[in-house]
Amino acid sequence: MTFAAMLVTGCCSEECAHGPKPLQIDNALTAEEKAAGKFTPEIMWKMSRIGQQALSPDGSKLIYTLTQYNMAENRGITLLWLRDMATGQERAITDYASTNTSPQWLDNDNVAFMSNRSGSMQVWAQNVASGAATQLSDVEDGVEGFGIAGNHAFYLQRVKVAKLKGSDQYADMDKSKVRLYDDLMVRHWDYWDDGTYLHVFAADYVDGKIQNGKDIIGADKAYDAPLAPYFDAAEIRLSPDGSLLAYTCKPLTGTEYALSTDSDIFLYDFATGATRNLTKEAANDEERFVGYDKYPVFSPDGRKIAFRSQRRPGNEADQQRLWVYDLDTNECRYITRGQDYCVTEVAWDGNDAIYFVLPWRGTHQVARIDLAGNMKHITSGNHDINSFAFASGRIVANMNTISKAVELYDVNLESGELTQLTDVNREVYDNIKFGQVQERWITTTDGKKMLTWVILPPDFDPTKKYPTLLYCQGGPQSTVSQFWSYRWNFQLMAAEGYVIVAPNRRGCPSFGQEWTDQISGDYSGQNIKDYLAAIDEVSKEPWVDTDKRGCVGASYGGYSTYYLAGVHEGRFKAFIAHCGIFNFESMYGHTEELFFVTNDYGGAYWDKDNATAMRSYANSPHKKVANWDTPIMIITGEKDYRIPYSQSLEAFTAARVQGIDARLVSFENEAHQVFQPQNSVVWNREFFGWLNKYLK
């Protein structure tokens, strides 16, 4: 059986009383696609996508998730695959009548996971040798995450806490469609607050069954754990023996919640039923733990908890520091003190050292640090290690590059050598051409060196001239790394014959905290100069057609596009802005996580005595719109509440009233990004249609 063609079934796109609806998957490349050798959006959606991975305790077996899509049905399915690490043999271990996610080994032969095979999402276990499967949970309405250790478990479920609907408050008005609020936040990311919140339930695990659990957040608490809006179950961990449960929660509500990132690490004791706030207990005059404290991880002996902490409340891009709390001594130690890098994806190596993912100069690597703070780079090279599984002295890394989607790699912990294990998209790489990726260090206007990726078209000919795109990264504090994106894919752009210039301008992490911080309060300043330095430097190449340059970006990159449209001095012939910030004043009132705009703008627009804030608002893109003179496409999602679609409507109106060629592409069922298969293909067709119209 190949990865490209198989019969599977997945959950219905709508609820179905008759259970999952069959879904055919046949994603083999056609003869025409092979002959053309060109990467297209349609081929990209045929690719299999590796997600999570987990090693058995003895390191002999690997479970990973694999998701595939049916374009005609506009939906996909996620399967579990098993790899024997000694023989390399692989096979699907779940049947094709359900979606299965979140694998966790119970022992060396049995794996637990979430599955919708019984209708709602429940926890199941399967013996990987015999295939025998058992349903472990039977929680009404299903679960949204779980963990099992020893005789205890946890699961995640939504709880109705507040009455925010008219029908909640007026029983005789059950058809009322009104929402009622007295405080912030009324909506988050892509949903309106309906009074339900994700809570952690602590449960016994008896005779192979997860019992009905206890809501340890509190049935009357309007808090989410794990944190909204991403609800990452990795923010919750059981101790190895199952006696303790550590979890992340932000116990704030209303306006205070909207303005702060102050989350804490809590510890629940199954024996006593007591809960401690570890980070607030550890607080002192030097370290108050008032920013994000997240992702607790127990040491193998269960006596220490590693976690990531950010110092500044309201700054989600602050340095992610590694701390370790000793449960025996109640001592909390700052392990990465004095270091200027971030720590992500933590796993203990014994009880005295930790492996982690290190964002490093536009890449992501595996590193190791002991509790004395001695750090060692394990891997190197131009790639992104997104996450890894660790067991019995072995690491399997989830890794991609700009030119290759995620595959799994065995990591030699001495040499850092990476050995590819999976090859789920071999047919694509064997038949489709990709462009070369260049690493360049460009001198900025203030004399700094800036990493810029330059992606060339396939079959690049240096004697020819090519249309060229400046790519503006979102975030604004996110790295232009060796990422592979199914939304903004550099190789798709290169396949259309474009050179892509992708700079790690000011604000992009992995180059030190000062580089990251510089952008806050200065959106229109040095980072805009960084963009122009990058495109101007690469434009010196004889193969750049300076009469056919475009500028594209999403989110903060959309803001950058709007701003550059007013100051580019004729450099660009076309712009595309996706879900970009256009008007700082209306954005402050329209968005939801106010800590973000308060930090990055410097304050609110009515704070007239705040020089940083007033400078930010004075340089809002809408203040430069009278200078617009270039065709612009504006893309938005109508369920985007982070940068609401109204920002895009304002920009589109400004362009058209001034007689500028413009096109509005509005997705009624997408939010800040475009995820659905058919929407994605339409997005790409519109994107390249616009660029090709003005740059070719």
User: What residues are labeled active site?
Assistant: 555, 640, 672
- Rounded to whole angstroms, the Cα distance separating 682 from 663 reads 14
Q: Which residues pair with 279 in a beta bridge?
A: none
Count of CA atoms in the C-beta half-sphere (13 A) of 180: 11
592 phi, psi to nearest 5 deg: -120, -50
Sign, CA dihedral 568-571-574-575, equals: negative
**Helix count and strand count (H, E) for the chain:** 15, 41
Whether 660 and 562 have beta carbons less than 8 Å apart is answered as no
- Rounded to whole angstroms, the Cα distance separating 191 from 176 reads 19
- Rounded to whole angstroms, the Cα distance separating 312 from 666 reads 36
CB < 8 Å & 24+ apart, contacts of 20-23: 20/97, 20/98, 20/116, 20/117, 23/70, 23/73, 23/75, 23/76, 23/77
> Residue 515 belongs to what H/E stretch?
helix 513-517
Tokens of 559: 């803001």
> Residue 530 belongs to what H/E stretch?
helix 526-538
For tokens 């119209």, the residue is 693
- Rounded to whole angstroms, the Cα distance separating 457 from 130 reads 49
Whether 356 and 344 have beta carbons less than 8 Å apart is answered as yes
Q: Is 329 helix (H, G, I), strand (E, B) or coil?
A: coil
H-helix segments, 300-452 = 426-431
Secondary structure letter of residue 664 according to DSSP: E
Sign, CA dihedral 239-242-244-250, equals: positive
Q: Which residues pair with 134 in a beta bridge?
A: 125
Peptide bond into 450 cis (omega under 30): no
Secondary structure letter of residue 645 according to DSSP: H
- Rounded to whole angstroms, the Cα distance separating 529 from 258 reads 32
Whether 584 and 614 have beta carbons less than 8 Å apart is answered as no
Q: How far apart are the first and last CA of the chain?
A: 43
Secondary structure letter of residue 509 according to DSSP: S
C-alpha dist (Å) from residue 325 to 321, 335, 535: 13, 10, 47
- Rounded to whole angstroms, the Cα distance separating 158 from 262 reads 22
Determine the residue type at 477: Q
Whether 2 and 646 have beta carbons less than 8 Å apart is answered as no
Tokens of 673: 């990004």
